[in-house]
Structure 1
Amino acid sequence: MTVVLERVAKTFGPVQVLHELNLTVKEGEFLVLLGASGSGKTTALRMVAGLETVSSGRILINNRDVTHVLPKNRDVAMVFQSYALYPHKTVAENIGYPLKIRRTPRAEMDARIRDVADQVQLTPYLERYPRQLSGGQRQRVALARAMVRRPAVFLMDEPLSNLDAKLRGHMRAELKHMQHQLGITTIYVTHDQVEAMTLAHRVALLEGGALQQLDAPARIYNDPANLFVAQFIGAPPMNLLSGALSGGTFAIGAQRIPVESAADCADARLGIRPEDCRIVDAGGGRIGGNIYATELIGDHTLVTVKTEGGMVTVKAAKDFAAEVGLNAAIAFDDDRLFLFDARSGHRIRQ
């Protein structure tokens, strides 16, 4: 099933929380709506589900206009951030409830309940009640209840937010495998860029109710459309140095960095990702500074260097060691640089 949002907007009184969103979710696609709190992503999802009215625009599911269709008639299944479980029903009964109201034969219903319970590691808990479960287990019950339906469209609102880190990793793999096997169109909301980058076929990054970029995860990471996208995607985030761009040179105080751009911009930002930087001896490299801090993460060390244009984080080898205050320089390849207009946020193409 395809899902299309055509110039969909949402206002609450004088506040516009979504600005004419145009979005097409392809059949069988796993699309992630990514953004910080207040960006409009959950509002967009709830409008697809029919839980919020559309202020303007229209929503189509499989070429059918469902803008004013009741939620129960849209053939979508939604997993909420809150559990929304029936407290008087067992785990098995909660999972199987969508099948029960559709009068699914008992043998088929039991088989599907067992299958989906196994996928989300709930098999030992099928006879328990929600009050006997942890928060993470309750979230998995809610997820299983949506999965067991096999609807035309899955709508998921941060379903992994209450799980611990290890189980989140397991569930990401399970979700991706399940979606690939079933081929069900899925729209998934999260503020977690790791979830977005690992799960999605495409990511729609929202900010302030407006779509900033819609693309495959690799392209959003390697080719950010604007300054916001560059800052939001990446862990650690992209380094952004303040300076002036003129005549093919980016000036950071007294330092000059040749760039392949004919644009002029008095208030520009030069971006370079931590993993594309290298620490070299003082006097070498492209930018000079002093070691400000080092942090051993495990498989790598994050080195923060204080430069004239601002702090620069470098992703170095795990055995890197240097004294705080030591003079150092940063090297990088020219083809890994990004340029932005600081005032408009627009990307300055090289």
Structure 2
Amino acid sequence: MRVSLNGVHKSFGQVEVVKGLDLEVKDGEFLVLLGASGSGKTTALRMIAGLETVTSGTIHIGERDVTGLLPKYRDIAMVFQSYALYPHKTVFANIAYPLTVRKRPRAEIEAAVKEVARQVQLDALLERYPRQLSGGQRQRVALARAIIRRPAAFLMDEPLSNLDAKLRGHMRAELKHMQHELGITTIYVTHDQIEAMTLAHRVALLDKGVLQQLDTPATIYNAPANLFVAGFIGSPPMNFLEGELREGRFSTPAGSFGTNSRASNPAVVLGIRPEDCRVTATGAGKLAGEIFATELIGDHALVTCRCAGANLTVKVDKEFQGEIGEAVGIGFDDKALHLFDKAGGNRLPAAG
């Protein structure tokens, strides 16, 4: 079911945490609220759930205005970072709880629990207690308990953050597949950009309570709206180099070259991702620099080059050989460049 926020503000005393958030989540969409601590993403989720009051603005679930409704009347299911399971109840009883309190027939409950347990691969563990389960299994119980309700929307607050890296990867795949199969609108909060990029149909990136960009993961990665988005998304992060733009030609002490813009601007920031750069012989690249450090990651290496007082990271083949202090060039294609206005931080349009 569609979920929409219209001009939503939230203040705690004099501190404004969410500042005029407008958000439209489509029916059946998996939308991720992404941001660092203090960005307002969890507060926004809690307002949708009814766990926080709205200072101003409205929230709709489907056609209903739920802004002032209690959580139990909103037809949502929430999955928390903590599993919030009943330790004295079996897996079966934990999953069945939402139907049990609604006094559904026993046969209906049993059939529903078995079906949901099969979906999350818990069908062999229904008689166990939470203390007998691993962290990943407990989180799947929490997911199953939410799924069994078939709510209008799932709200998930960093549900995978307590798991180790290997299990997080496994659970991401399971969660994405389950959401696709169920087709239930899902709003998911995380500070982890990898989770956001791999799970979401669309990502809403927030900073200090303000929506910075709302788009597909591919668009946010390939066409960030501003310097904040460009620097937040990507691992390693995007390289930035300050300079001047004159009729589309970018100039900095490390080099001068044409871009895909025709604009002039005395203070711009050029952005380029490490995977779009290459280390060249001196004089062969568009920028001149020297090797500052090299790091072997495993399947690739990262070379940090010092250029005009800035560090630029280049993703290279794992066989790369280079010495610290060695003079090098840095090359890249014009289409890989991103240009931003230094003063406002906004992306500069490419030449039409």
* Fold match by TM threshold 0.5: yes
Q: Is the 8 A contact 1:120 1:171 kept in 2?
A: no
Q: Following TM superposition, by how much is the alpha carbon of 1:288 offset from its aligned partner in structure 2, in angstroms?
A: 1.1
| Structure 1 letter corresponding to 2:265 | C
Name the structure 2 match of 1:289.
Answer: 289
Name the structure 2 match of 1:88.
Answer: 88
Equivalent position SS for 1:347: coil
Name the structure 1 match of 2:201.
Answer: 201
Q: Is the 8 A contact 1:340 1:346 kept in 2?
A: yes
Q: Is the 8 A contact 1:155 1:186 kept in 2?
A: yes
d(CA) in 1 for partners of 2:268, 2:179: 42
Name the structure 2 match of 1:144.
Answer: 144
Question: Is 1:30 aligned with 2:59?
Answer: no
CA deviation vs aligned residue, 1:157-211 (integer Å, no higher than 9, x gap):
1111111112111111111111111110111111111111111111111101000
Q: How many residues align?
A: 350
Mapping of residues 39-188 of structure 1, within 5 Å: 39-188=39-188
Q: Is the 8 A contact 1:139 1:162 kept in 2?
A: no
| Structure 2 letter corresponding to 1:73 | Y
Equivalent position SS for 1:313: strand
d(CA) in 2 for partners of 1:120, 1:325: 53
Q: Is the 8 A contact 2:31 2:204 kept in 1?
A: yes
Q: Following TM superposition, by how much is the alpha carbon of 1:231 offset from its aligned partner in structure 2, in angstroms?
A: 0.4
CA deviation vs aligned residue, 1:92-118 (integer Å, no higher than 9, x gap):
211110121122333332333233334
d(CA) in 1 for partners of 2:12, 2:74: 24
CA deviation vs aligned residue, 1:119-165 (integer Å, no higher than 9, x gap):
43444543333334444443332222112221110000111111111
Q: Following TM superposition, by how much is the alpha carbon of 1:259 offset from its aligned partner in structure 2, in angstroms?
A: 2.2
d(CA) in 2 for partners of 1:141, 1:219: 34
Q: Is the 8 A contact 2:18 2:209 kept in 1?
A: yes
d(CA) in 1 for partners of 2:113, 2:167: 20
| TM-score normalised according to structure 2 size | 0.95
d(CA) in 2 for partners of 1:59, 1:68: 9
d(CA) in 2 for partners of 1:98, 1:38: 32
d(CA) in 1 for partners of 2:270, 2:117: 49
Equivalent position SS for 2:20: strand
d(CA) in 2 for partners of 1:267, 1:42: 36
Name the structure 1 match of 2:340.
Answer: 340
| Structure 2 letter corresponding to 1:190 | T
Q: Following TM superposition, by how much is the alpha carbon of 1:286 offset from its aligned partner in structure 2, in angstroms?
A: 0.5
Q: Following TM superposition, by how much is the alpha carbon of 1:244 offset from its aligned partner in structure 2, in angstroms?
A: 2.3
Equivalent position SS for 2:33: strand
d(CA) in 2 for partners of 1:329, 1:120: 51
Q: Is the 8 A contact 2:254 2:287 kept in 1?
A: no
Q: Following TM superposition, by how much is the alpha carbon of 1:13 offset from its aligned partner in structure 2, in angstroms?
A: 0.4
| Structure 1 letter corresponding to 2:318 | K
Q: Is the 8 A contact 1:252 1:309 kept in 2?
A: no
Q: Following TM superposition, by how much is the alpha carbon of 1:247 offset from its aligned partner in structure 2, in angstroms?
A: 3.3
Name the structure 1 match of 2:7.
Answer: 7
Equivalent position SS for 1:284: coil
Mapping of residues 318-337 of structure 1, within 5 Å: 318-337=318-337
d(CA) in 2 for partners of 1:117, 1:173: 17
d(CA) in 1 for partners of 2:85, 2:263: 57
Name the structure 2 match of 1:306.
Answer: 306
Q: Following TM superposition, by how much is the alpha carbon of 1:318 offset from its aligned partner in structure 2, in angstroms?
A: 2.2
Q: Following TM superposition, by how much is the alpha carbon of 1:326 offset from its aligned partner in structure 2, in angstroms?
A: 1.6
d(CA) in 2 for partners of 1:80, 1:28: 20
Runs of 4+ in 1 over 6 A off after TM superposition: none
d(CA) in 1 for partners of 2:344, 2:309: 19
Q: Is the 8 A contact 1:242 1:309 kept in 2?
A: no
Instruction: Give RMSD over aligned pairs.
Output: 1.6
Name the structure 2 match of 1:235.
Answer: 235
d(CA) in 2 for partners of 1:13, 1:271: 39
d(CA) in 1 for partners of 2:265, 2:248: 11
Q: Is the 8 A contact 1:27 1:184 kept in 2?
A: yes
Q: Following TM superposition, by how much is the alpha carbon of 1:42 offset from its aligned partner in structure 2, in angstroms?
A: 0.6
| Structure 2 letter corresponding to 1:104 | R
d(CA) in 2 for partners of 1:309, 1:111: 65
Equivalent position SS for 2:9: strand
d(CA) in 2 for partners of 1:80, 1:2: 21
d(CA) in 2 for partners of 1:171, 1:133: 15
Q: Is the 8 A contact 2:292 2:325 kept in 1?
A: yes
d(CA) in 2 for partners of 1:96, 1:282: 67
